[in-house]
Structure 1
């Protein structure tokens, strides 16, 4: 069953500087993670319900199954990506794992 790692980044102090690092440094780290089927990321442009825009950026990383995700996170590339996440993620940012309904 396909699983995805969903990453929600809260609002950074400087959104442009965050995106510069995210796209120039973090994205290439993500792309090197073994077992990654595909991934996508987007800058949040507003809240559809009219509420506060709590999040700045979202990312979704897709893997074949939970074992592939766990192997990816435990790889050298996955650990390097995790270290960078801990450096750049604003307080309150979160990661979730979801199984796709297939």
Structure 2
């Protein structure tokens, strides 16, 4: 069963500068992570309810919880975290792991 690691970013003060850093440096580093199956990045186009205001959602898909844990111990993963901290992305992000709920399987 696959597992996903989500990074949910609040709307930055300067969205263009955020995207320049995010797609110019962070995404290429993340995509070098061993064991990563997919990196799905979604832009929030409309928020109906709730606070804070969300901007981007990244879904990193791994083959299994074990594969994700192994990926978290790699130099590539550490480099992506260092990059995120270097330009202030850590102040905007909430991160969590999730797997498909058995009751929602179709």
TM-score normalised by structure 1 residue count? 0.87
What's 1:27 paired with? 27
| Residue ranges of structure 2 left out of the alignment (5+ in a row) | none
Mapped contact 2:84–2:90 kept (Cα < 8 A): no
Deviations 1:63-91 (A, max 9, x none): 01111111111100001111222333253
Mapped contact 2:12–2:92 kept (Cα < 8 A): no
Q: Name segments (4+ residues, structure 1) moved above 6 Å.
A: none
TM-score normalised by structure 2 residue count? 0.84
Cα distance in 2 for residues equivalent to 1:74 and 1:82: 12
Q: What is the count of residue pairs matched by the alignment?
A: 101
Matches within 5 A, 1:1-102: 1-47=1-47, 49=48, 54-87=53-86, 88-89=88-89, 91-101=91-101
Question: Which segment is superposed worse, 68-77 or 53-62?
Answer: 53-62
| Residue ranges of structure 1 left out of the alignment (5+ in a row) | none
Call closer, same or farther: CA 1:42–1:92 in 2, change over 3 Å. Answer: same
